[in-house]
Amino acid sequence: MLKRGYAIAAACLAAAVAVTAFTPNAPSAFVSNQAARSALFGGPSVAHDASSTELSMSTVEAEATGTGTALEDYVKARGGNLPIKKVLIANNGMAATKAILSMRQWAYMELGDENAIKFVAMATAEDLKANAEFVRLADTFVEVPAGKNLNNYANVDVITKVAQENGVDAVWPGWGHASENPKLPNTLKAMGIKFIGPPGPVMSVLGDKIAANILAQTADVSSIPWSGSYGGPEDGPLQAELNDEGTIPDEIFEKATCRSVEEAVEAAKYIGYENGIMIKASEGGGGKGIRFVDNEEDLKNAYVQVSNEVVGSPIFLMQLCKNARHIEVQIVGDEHGNAVALNGRDCSTQRRFQKIFEEGPPVIVPPETFRQMERAAQRLTQSIGYVGAGTVEYLFNADTGNYFFLELNPRLQVEHPVTEGITGTNLPSTQLQVAMGIPLYNIPAVRKLYGKEDIYGTDPIDFLVDEYKDIDSHVIAARITAENPDEGFKPTSGSIERIKFQSTSDVWGYFSVGANGGIHEFADSQFGHLFATGPTREAARKSLVLALKEIEVRGEIRTTVEYLVQLLETQEFKENTIDTSWLDGLIKEKSVYVEKPAHDVVLGAAILKAREHIMTETAAVVESLEKGQVSTAGIAGITSFNLEIAYKDTKYPFHVELTSPDVYLFTVNGNSIDVPVTVTAEGGLVAEFGGETHRIDGRDEPLGLRLSLDGVTILMPTIFDPSELRTDVTGKVVRYLQDNGADVEEGTPYVEVEAMKMIMPIKASESGKITHALSPGTVISAGDLLASLELKDPSKVKKILNFEGALDVTAAEIETDGKAAVDNILAGYKGDAEAAAQAAFADASDLASASATVVEAFNEYLRVETIFDGKLKDDVVRQLAKDNAASLESVIDINRAHGVMDTRNKLVLGLLRQVETFSDRFGEAALPEDLLAPLEQLSNLKGREYGEITIAADSIIRQTKIPAFEVRVADLRKQLLDSETDIVALAKSSTLSAGVDLLVSLFSDEDAKVRAAAAETYVRRVYRAHRIIDLSVDDVDGRIECTWSFRFADVPEDQSVVRNGILSVVPEGGSLDAALPKILDDFGGKLDSDASSENPVNVVHVALVGGSDAAADEKAITDNKSKLNMIGVRTVNTIIPVAKNDPLYYAYPQCNGYTEDPLRRNMRPTFHHLLELGRLDQNFDLQRLPAVGRNVQVYIGSEKTAKPMRTGPPQVLFVRGISVTPGLVSSAGASRALVQGLDELERAQANSKVSTQASPVSSSTLFPSLRVPPRRLPRSSVRSWIRSRASLPTVF
């Protein structure tokens, strides 16, 4: 487990990382001010100090408000002399991010105020564009020149200018950039600004390799044999104290230097060639000025090479340390002469001297030996007056137990959190406190490490004598870098869309970029660092492996994450038997690699080839148009085509279709997968499949496709005829090894070729009789045919098999909203027109938004089709090419859309059907003017191919001309008052279809004649499907009462029972409770005889003009249950008029005990019988679902069964409707009605109450049911419609 102090820090940092990696907000202890963030993302980035917010107060304001008091008191109490309130972070990336997080966390934990110290960041344009995390974390930032670091973070003049202009108290340099440039601390000292690090002279002497080794020897630190090990008469190691200028005396320095070849040869004799010798330039680095030799002759040549590479640099010799481990001791010195060793790290996993993993404590070193290494590091630190954090690096030989000084890094290192994890110290905050002049033994974290009970005490600690507490945990760190391990760890740059990482109690990490950030070309390749802790090394290793397997970085960059997992799982790393050359050896041998799943490779290749096909075919059409050709036949092949991929003796036949400009639908063996594909600025592809984002690139070569998938290169050979022998090298034929026509065996050489001055044989891949294809001396290229074979046994040749089954690749979840689906279909891409028309209105909450969606779609359809309407296609294409000569791709776009007219027409028809529902859906009869304009244009299209659309659009336009509610009511009233109006004819008229509910609003008309006529017309209209025998209307005590007798029309008259009905209109102020007994008495008095309650046949309708309460009505009805039964009432219906709208309907059937039946609510009284819902209710438990159409009812029926079922009883969706439209008797009319029913069904299937498990759609059947006189509907209309939609999996 973590030390307690470190656990707190880790928890805080982990919390910050967990949030900042995914959201723009972070915990208050780690956030920058909002104004700075606004400056970062919104405005110009020249000077960015948000002084208007609390978080960006100046130092003076902080003092005035008391913010600085706690800090000043702390520094004074701890023995310091310089409260530092404002710090310039002269670094970027990981360094800047970690520094701000750590120091801010310390300020809060120690001082209770995370804002006690203000942070000023430097940011380049590249950092701002990359959404760098450190800029967000800082209180303010200053934009500095862009480009390479010599312009900014390594430029001392820029750093000191920013520091002075922003009034900072100190500068934190981090690592890299200017952190080891002695000019920086020297210049800051002259300005009176504190440098958080060692003094300039000390940094200067440590920067020279010869001087550093002499200083180490002076401090009794073991050094590997080198040219400075032999400086006296007895060949003792050179030693020296720094002079007044802070440098090594020249005479001592020169003794370690080899100024000539002869001096180098002499020094080598002392060192010995047994292990090899390194010749180094003291001022070299980065691979320059260094050579390895193992003999005198090579030494002489190498000396000249080194001196020429680093001109003017002193040169020295050093013995090569073989089988070495890279061990570090973390030291901190203060200005009071103290130096503490905070344990150390093992950084032996290196690639070309670049660390990959770091871990601590370095368990490979015996405890006593490591204690010696710590003491030596402390002596060296104290001897030179080192102040601040630093690292003494050693080479350790695990076989001999010997260790040797390597160098002292005068700065903090990126892997310092390893030390924090095992010691519980916060190193950036320790640096800060040392810079404030606080002695090391007064720093609470240091005192805690040394087991002091009073961590706020001031009693001294003798760090060269006293021991810190035992380390009881192990930490392993992994650097997350934007590098490609499959291409020699080549750095990559680009955007980062998302970093998925969640810290745990065992693993935490931090990143220098957040979501929608990136790695720019001038940034360090490392953008993340993970730290795993455990009680043992193995526990920490396992935790790190799991964390690396879970981390996900999406974007354009390539990372080493997968490779790191492979390294951690090697036996050498598990057993800790590695050395500094181990990883370079693995890379050279390519023994660790990442193998991509076969189907990922196949799909990646298919994506690449599909993109190439699209580009090639598009270019071909463009070229054709440029030549004046008008054929558009090739356009369809751009978005729908076949391709074949061969991999590992298997052929994969794909059919590819584009469903949008950047989504490819790949189908193989009937199984499909959608893949979003993005083309990067560099021309590569980024595709999403298998739950991941993949980078794809590649090129065709003579022998096949060289594919790069996520940085892994795969050669996919072209399938050649096995009887063809081809070369895989470029060169020339030297000679054939068999005569022409001779037999050759598989695996034996048949020809020699010369390539790169080497003679090499090429072996036959099969056995057979050979025929030479070329002559000796012929120049050849890779892929050329060298010979052909008459196969000895064709049956034994390896066969290429066709792939069967489905790809083992998870499809990406593509969220396409309805509008995007409509746009894609209109643009000519593959899609489901019916589904898109439905989905387009999924989010429409009002008429305005729904109309806007339709208008945009109709206008896009018309934009294309009006170009072609009534014209010859060739003429249109010719004119388009002329008008768009500079952008012929737009001509392709227009013709691609027009080329899928059938699908586009289906979409537009589907949208028109949706428009027809607007009045019911949104309660507004009138359509917006901006929608009527495109409807007019659609209705005016001339071509026969637009016939259905023009009719549908014209029909909607006609419907919009229906007058307003008040006007229609007035017109109906006028008809009823007209003495020449035939009430019977009016009730049956088709013109009354939309106005039947208007009659209810006339039940309360002031004219009694109108009230009576309205009641009669209403009854005759509602019961028009029945045979009305007689009907009368009377005024009873101020109530209009209409009574009638009737029979069912679908039962022979001699078998049909006579039924009776009454409609009573209760005027304003009346109630059902008061009126119902009298209504029933009147009704009963008019019946010939009592009806049997066992077979009730009569109906009661009550219109409550003044409104009513459904619960009160139900009580009033049930209170009269006995009377209702006595007179044989089958159903009581109440009608509640609603001002300027359709009335409300409630039904109280006798079979329900005269309680309301929710299934019949707002259903006209006779619909229940006409829709035969009673029959459905016998076999299903029905539940009504919302429907858009006024005359349509949608029900979900759960089968009534006593048999228990795991997924519930089977469900069936029922859509039933009544239509009296005259056009229904035509084929087009019947099709229209049925399609409207299917629209309702499709909407219903999206209802959450419909269980896809209980009602498997794939096994549903289509049952058309039309309630019209059979003689008026041609059977051929239904048959043709069913045939055209036989594959629809629906129930109607």
Which residues belong to the active site?
411
DSSP letter, residue 132: B
Question: Token pair of 512, please?
Answer: 């220098």
CA distance 1233 to 1221: 9
Residues in Cβ contact with 925 at an 8 Å cutoff, skipping those fewer than 6 apart: 919, 962, 964, 965
Contact at 8 Å (CB) between 961 and 926?
Answer: no
Nearest to 684 by CA among 693, 692, 673, 671: 693
DSSP, collapsed to helix, strand or coil, labels residue 426 as: coil
Pairing type for strands 801-802 and 86-89 reads: unpaired
CA distance 1200 to 1178: 8
Name beta bridge partners: 704.
701, 717
CA distance 1082 to 1093: 18
Q: What are φ and ψ of residue 74, in 5° steps?
A: -65, -45
Q: Between the CA of residue 532 and those of 5, 14, 578, what are the distances in Å?
A: 16, 12, 19
CA distance 985 to 988: 5
Question: Token pair of 928, please?
Answer: 């917006």
DSSP, collapsed to helix, strand or coil, labels residue 226 as: strand
DSSP, collapsed to helix, strand or coil, labels residue 727 as: coil
Q: Between the CA of residue 484 and those of 357, 492, 568, 602, what are the distances in Å?
A: 16, 7, 17, 21
Tally Cβ neighbours within 10 Å of residue 996. Answer: 17
Name beta bridge partners: 756.
none
Contact at 8 Å (CB) between 243 and 205?
Answer: no
CA distance 234 to 230: 8
Contact at 8 Å (CB) between 1016 and 1042?
Answer: yes
Residues in Cβ contact with 382 at an 8 Å cutoff, skipping those fewer than 6 apart: 219, 333, 337, 338, 339
Contact at 8 Å (CB) between 229 and 223?
Answer: yes
Name beta bridge partners: 88.
120, 171
Residues in Cβ contact with 721 at an 8 Å cutoff, skipping those fewer than 6 apart: none
To the nearest 10°, the Cα dihedral for 696, 699, 700, 703?
Answer: -90
CA distance 16 to 10: 10
Exposed / middle / buried, residue 556 (Cβ in 10 Å: 0-12, 13-18, 19+):
buried
User: 3-state secondary structure string, 262-290?
Assistant: HHHHHHHHHHCCCCCEEEEEEEEECCEEE
Exposed / middle / buried, residue 268 (Cβ in 10 Å: 0-12, 13-18, 19+):
buried
Residue for token digits 């009033």? 1116
CA distance 198 to 209: 17
Name beta bridge partners: 693.
688
Q: Between the CA of residue 968 and those of 167, 962, 1015, what are the distances in Å?
A: 80, 8, 17
Pairing type for strands 86-89 and 118-123 reads: parallel
Q: Residue 703, CB half-sphere, CA atoms under 13 Å: how many? A: 14
For the stretch 1279-1285, contacts whose Cβ atoms lie closer than 8 Å and that sit 24 or more positions apart, written own/partner, are 1280/1227, 1281/1227, 1281/1230, 1281/1231, 1281/1234, 1284/1231, 1285/1238
The letter for the amino acid at 638 is I
